[in-house]
Chain A
Amino acid sequence: MNAATASLLIKAIDIAWLGLAAWENNADAKTANEPAVASLLELRQKITLGLISEERASEEMDILITQLRSYRKSGEARL
């Protein structure tokens, strides 16, 4: 096996593994996004309990959602 073939084989493994892991393993998605998801859940609780102003809640939610979208956005920018 030459170097080029080996490189492509490694890339194929990456594709197979990433594609499968991303789709099948919810735990991976949860882990990757866990901090922002936890913060969003906490924020929703504060909103429900009236512990935070609507304006402040909206600002914080926008920030957290932007964090959650950043990985995808960076991928889209490479296409």
Chain B
Amino acid sequence: MNWKTLEEDRRSPLALFALLVVLMFALDGCATIDRNLSPLELLAEGENVVGTAAHTLADSADAGIIERGSDEYDKAAIAILDAGEALDRGWELYASGDVIGAVASREAAMDLYRRLVRPTLVKYSLESSE
């Protein structure tokens, strides 16, 4: 990236913001997350992540950043709902005393979020800043 060009570009604040977002998510991907959490805390964290993703996707659609009914929106929305079902199963297993199964369900939910939801949110956050 040419910094001089950036400085001269009248949209440079947006370009710089885009760079910042890329750096944030690059760091995010490398972040070491404390996994010394109890199954209950892991499930609660999963709720927060998937819940935030759902609200963020809905906010993005309300703001016109992503179109409801588009392939990407539907793909992310379905993945969020599937992740929610995985968390529901996790809670059922937790309540029945199967904490290993509960954590496995939570991991399935996080896997859906990582593969199918977060990339869409990152993409549209970058596109909307251009």
Contact = CB atoms under 8 A, between A and B. Distances in A.
A19 B122 CA distance: 8
Interface residues of A, number: 43
> Of residues A33, A37, A72, which shows the largest number of chain B Cβ atoms within 10 Å of its Cβ?
A72
Contacts of A41: 38, 40
A52 interface: no
B44 A8 contact: no
Interface of A: 1, 5, 7-9, 11-16, 18-24, 26, 28-30, 32-33, 36-37, 40-41, 44, 58, 61-62, 65, 68-69, 71-76, 78-79
30 contacts: A1-B13, A1-B14, A7-B63, A8-B63, A9-B128, A11-B63, A12-B21, A12-B65, A12-B126, A12-B129, A15-B65, A16-B25, A19-B56, A19-B121, A20-B28, A22-B52, A24-B31, A26-B37, A26-B45, A37-B41, A41-B38, A65-B91, A68-B47, A69-B47, A72-B47, A72-B51, A72-B84, A75-B50, A75-B52, A75-B54
